A and B are shown apart, each in its own frame.
Chain A
Amino acid sequence: MMPTEAQDTAIISMNNIVKSYQMADETFYALKDVSLSIEENDYVAIIGPSGSGKSTLMNILGCLDAPCSGTYFLGEQAVASLSEVELANLRNQSVGFIFQSFNLLPRASALENVMQPLVYRFIAVKERKRLAMEALERVGLGNKIHHLPNQLSGGQRQRVAIARALVTKPKILLGDEPTGNLDSQTTLEIMALFDELHAEGHTVVLITHEPEIADHCHRVIRLKDGCIESDVRRQAHA
């Protein structure tokens, strides 16, 4: 029931983040003065109704967008003032995205998809392959590496996407409705995978509107109208 105070182990710390958009003649505030910190090996769900600012918060967390004001540290890196190129490099180094609709490259095999983020680092193809294989084996798809996305089931595609997020060894795994396009059985499997990854020490942040997903997490941040309505820490049910 109490907000996090442990700043020393914080991987993410946001202070007084404001994000607004200029509509026709009025200013729309998507985020109004949001402060939050996420520690290493946190397992966080960010929930809230649509229009609450979830997506905007995710974009800023994932370094896709810059806030209008406030400070944001990802690790030791101050994000707010970075250029486009620096943001791209930071995303590559520190953020592992997992999207609702998987966003795999359609004409690339599972292996090539997982290798993709390593293309933007200075890593030789051989090493890329090795790391990608490792990640694919981790998500249980070691036998499907040459399949194209359209030859895989929804759950398998999301596993490929998770492997792609894992392969860069990012500071946080950032899931945007990661089970939104999956049936209930597959959702359970994917959530079990997230549970495992958390147990292995990864920092997981999931944006969702499904309470069952949030139930898996150890901390639930509820947004409403661009503000944090509640930030609850609890023991997950196994």
Chain B
Amino acid sequence: MLNSPSGFAMPKSLHAVWEGTRAALHSIRAHAMRSMLTTLGIIIGVAAVIAVVAIMQGLSSSITQQLDDLGSDMVTIRAYTTQEDQLLGFNKTLSYDDFLVLKSKVEGVEDMTATMQPFSFGSTVSYGRNSVQTQIIGTDSSYQNVVRIYPEYGRFLSESDDLRRRRVAFVGTSVLKKLNMSENSVGEFISLNGEWFRVIGIAETQGSIFGFDQDNYIITPFSTMRSLSGDQVTRNIDIMFRPSDPAKLPEVQEQISQILRKRHNLEKDDADDFEFHSAEKTKKQFDSVTQSVTLVAGGVVGISLLVGGIGVMNIMLVSVTERTREIGTVKALGATPQFIMIQFLIEALVLSLFGGIIGLILGYGVASMLTMVMPNMPSALVPLWAITLALGFTTAIGVIFGLAPAMKAARLNPIDALRYE
């Protein structure tokens, strides 16, 4: 005791934790196979939750980003017909006049455009011997400002295109590909339902959302479409706008509502016959889907972790019985019940935390692999909260289910334990 290590004097409990950790690691290493099997339940549970969360989060962040790219500020106004009215044969509409009034009167709007989809006109486009189905949109030059589509080659529709009902088309890249046209086909003529249109611009490629191709469309002047497809389709149009300040969107919507209600002669108690759609709304809906999937996955995993925890407890109880003589021996050597309790508790804790960490890595690996194999899947993303939660939960499982075996070990009577065969 000459060089009594006063420098190493730790609080008793800390000392016990330190020694307990050493002993626990030693014991886990000595039973590597059994330890691995014990934690398997926890590994699988954590891996499952991390994989699900990683995929959902990856998906969610990619969707959010794509919706942002699209412009979450963009709002579409559409006619809304209740089911009752539909059955009675009424169809509510938004007219071109509605649009003109709104465009001239509503304040706080960066730009506003009218669009129509002339379904009666057909949706077949052909070039040479190739033809393909696509989405044909009739709109005006403002569309570019509202939707934020920009030309890669050529130009977008101009005001005069609309005024003079020019037969010109602004084309998405997917259409070009499907028709086997060259990348820069400005000046070429394509046929829409037998009418010839000159290509004046090619759009920048948007990519796809949810596997939906965002580049499969042809945009033509509103007035051209109206003259070609007849009066019928122009009765009902969509109006799109972008508020100059997104924060003031509710006020802008209020203005629009008032004007439209007045124009449509709605009584005070009547419901709106139109509705607003925005990417923001879609995003919220999507978020709530992601949230509930994550919650359900979390619940399932909670149960599997519970089962894993029971597995840990089971093996720990076996281990205590198996090591009864050892426990008796160390008690004879002076181990206090507290010390033994801490040692077994740490062993359970290390086992389950170890399972948590391996599960975390495994889950991320599985998610990354899945997202690589599946087409159109964004890369997996594990948020910090999921990591914290997984490790916190496994820690809790270790402590809760380690308690019973640890107490059993601590309470062993040394005389009986020493004699145990």
Residue ranges of A at the interface with B (Cβ–Cβ < 8 Å): 59, 62, 64-65, 84-85, 88-89, 91-93, 95, 97, 99, 103-108, 116-117, 119-124, 126-127, 164, 168
Contacts and interface: CB of A to CB of B under 8 A. Distances in A.
Interface stretch (B7-15, B43-51, B94-102, B249-257): B7-15
B198 to A, nearest CB: 85
Contacts of A104: 329
B331 A88 contact: yes
B415 interface: yes
Contacts of A89: 334, 336
Contacts of A93: 334
A123 B18 CA distance: 12
Nearest to A120: B334
A120 B336 contact: yes
B9 A88 contact: no
A107 B325 contact: no
A122 B414 CA distance: 22
For chain B, the bracket of interface size reads 20 to 34
Q: 7 tightest CB-CB pairs across the interface, nearest first? A: A92-B334, A124-B8, A124-B5, A103-B329, A117-B333, A107-B30, A120-B334
Interface in B10-64: 10, 12, 15, 19, 26-27, 30
A227 B297 CA distance: 70
A124 to B, nearest CB: 4
Contacts of A122: 5, 8-10, 12, 15
A91 to B, nearest CB: 5
B337 interface: yes
Contacts of B8: 122-124
B354 interface: no
B344 interface: no
13 contacts: A64-B331, A64-B415, A65-B415, A85-B336, A88-B337, A89-B334, A91-B332, A97-B332, A103-B325, A104-B329, A107-B30, A122-B9, A126-B5
A105 B411 CA distance: 20
B143 interface: no
Contact of A88 (B325, B326, B336): B336
Given A88-B335, A120-B334, A99 B418 contact: yes
Contacts of B338: 85
A119 B21 CA distance: 12
B415 A59 contact: yes
Contacts of A95: 332
B3 interface: yes
B339 interface: yes
Contact of A105 (B329, B332, B336, B418): B329
B372 interface: no
Interface in B290-348: 325-326, 328-339
B26 A120 contact: no
Interface of B: 3, 5, 8-10, 12, 15, 19, 26-27, 30, 325-326, 328-339, 414-415, 418
A186 B353 CA distance: 47
Q: With a 10 A CB-CB cut-off, give which of B325, B326, B332 has the most chain A CB atoms.
A: B332
B339 A120 contact: yes
A159 to B, nearest CB: 17
Nearest to A84: B337
Given A95-B332, A103-B325, 8 more contacts: A85-B336, A88-B336, A91-B332, A103-B329, A104-B329, A120-B333, A120-B334, A164-B333
B5 A62 contact: no
Given A64-B415, A85-B338, A122-B15, A107 B27 contact: yes
A75 to B, nearest CB: 15
Nearest to B3: A127
Nearest to B11: A122
A54 to B, nearest CB: 13
Contact of A85 (B10, B30, B337): B337
B418 A88 contact: no
A211 B30 CA distance: 41
A114 B215 CA distance: 76
A95 B331 CA distance: 12
B415 A120 contact: no
A123 B30 CA distance: 25
A92 B336 CA distance: 10
Nearest to A99: B418
Contacts of B336: 84-85, 88-89, 120
A22 to B, nearest CB: 15
Contact of B334 (A65, A91, A107, A127): A91
B25 to A, nearest CB: 12
Contacts of A99: 329, 418
Nearest to B328: A103
Nearest to B22: A119
A105 B326 contact: yes
Contacts of B418: 64, 99, 103
Contacts of B329: 99, 103-105
B406 to A, nearest CB: 16
Contacts of B26: 107-108
Contact of B333 (A59, A65, A92, A126): A92
A27 B46 CA distance: 56
A97 B333 contact: yes
Contacts of A107: 26-27, 30
Nearest to B334: A92
B415 A116 contact: no
Nearest to A165: B333
Contacts of B12: 122
Q: With a 10 A CB-CB cut-off, give which of B10, B328, B337, B418 has the most chain A CB atoms.
A: B418
A230 B332 CA distance: 29
A88 B415 contact: no
Given A64-B415, A103-B418, A116 B10 contact: no
Contacts of A84: 336-337
A150 B339 CA distance: 27
